[in-house]
Amino acid sequence: MNRRLLAIIGVVLVVGGFLAMSSFFIVDQTEQALVLQLGQPRRVIREPGLWVKRPFIENVIEYDNRVLDFEPPHEEVIVSDQKRLVADTYTRYRIVNPLLFYQTVGSEAGVRARLAALVTGSLRRVLGSVTLNDILSNKRAAIMVQIRDEVAAQAKDFGIDVVDARMQSERQQQAAQYRGEGAEAAQNVRANAERERTVILAEAQREAQRVRGDGDGQSIKIYADAFNQDKEFFAFYRSLQAYRDALNGKDTSFVLSPEGNFFRFFGGWTGEGAAAGATHGTPPRAANPATGAAGGGTPPR
């Protein structure tokens, strides 16, 4: 009797434990649950904690109540100005109606397929009405808000709430092509500027040489006209310049004959000083360069 009783008690405990395990379930803080009876929805549990269900005839489907991320495949889109770009989008959503979610898409894999179609359709529709410059300008945020609102409005039929939708666009071949064209245009501009600079410098140098030649010609003509007006005074003036250049050194000594042609203006501007000094046996005295008059002192050595 004792063994039979113990066996019965053991069976009862096992069955009771199995029933308890089949009757109780826990909803985590990050989850929400949908209770089904023979495949038919019965109730939605949003609060975390320990809950009871009918064993064997009811089962529980758990859904995440956090914000979920979804990244659809890249899409090549043609904007209104016929530019091609590759759009890399991602969407963030939350399951807000587990019952509707179960009835329409059933699982996260199902909703991802639906979201991919929604995002692609909205992306093509919105970007097809704007230009590439709009996408790359400060209008980009408003464009993405429009895409998000369209996707969110259609996604409500699946029991989800789209909280964000973003796009990262990359102009692949077109971007490389435009950069190449820009670099080529920049090189052409630099080459044209360098060529124009060379031409301008050459013309400026040629003009400068012409002006200098004209100036030299006028200077020579002025000197020639002045020389022809009074040749003796011009010779005297040039000799004074030679005296100034030759005798201005403080530590310079000369040993010259006073009868030489170099000192012929020391006696006066008429050029008779050297000859007079040679006749009287007296060396000429240094003349004042400003007046041409003879002054006192010893002759230069």
Percent of the chain with pLDDT over 90: 22
Residue 259 lies in a domain: yes
Position 178 confidence tier, pLDDT thresholds 50, 70, 90: low
Q: Let me know if residue 205 belongs to a domain.
A: no
Mean pLDDT over 190-202 rounds to 90
Residue 56 and residue 138 share a domain: no
Same domain, 129 and 95: yes
Q: Which domain holds residue 242?
A: 225-301
Q: State whether 256 and 163 are in the same domain.
A: no
- Do 118 and 171 lie in a common domain? yes
| Total domains present in the chain | 3
Beta carbons of 254 and 238 less than 8 angstroms apart: no
Count of residues making up the chain:
301
Residue 96 pLDDT more than 90?
yes
Query: What pLDDT, on the 0 to 100 scale, is given for residue 284?
Result: 42
Residues 83, 46: one domain? no
Residues 170 and 269 in one domain: no
Residue 106 and residue 59 share a domain: no
Residue 54 near residue 21 (C-beta atoms within 8 A) = no
Give residue 64's pLDDT: 92
What pLDDT does residue 280 have?
Answer: 44
Same-domain status, 85 and 52: no
- Statement: residue 210 has pLDDT above 80: yes
C-alpha pair distances (Å), 234 with each of 127, 192, 231, 263? 91, 55, 5, 16
* Range with the largest mean pLDDT of 41-45, 182-186, 242-246: 41-45
Looking at the fold, whether 54 and 88 belong to one and the same domain comes out as: no
Domain membership of residue 40 (yes or no) is yes
219-230 pLDDT per residue, tens: 888 877 777 777
Residues 235 and 298 in one domain: yes
Domain end, chosen from 118, 153, 176, is at 176
Task: Say what the pLDDT of residue 101 is.
Answer: 94
31, 47, 64: which is the final residue of a domain?
64
Distance between CA atoms of residues 55 and 23, nearest Å: 5
* Same domain, yes or no: 172 and 82: yes
Q: How would residue 87 be classed by pLDDT, with cut points 50, 70 and 90?
A: confident
Given the DSSP bridges, would you call strands 31-37 and 40-45 parallel, antiparallel or unpaired? antiparallel
Same-domain status, 124 and 172: yes
Decide which of 38, 64, 90 is a domain's last residue: 64
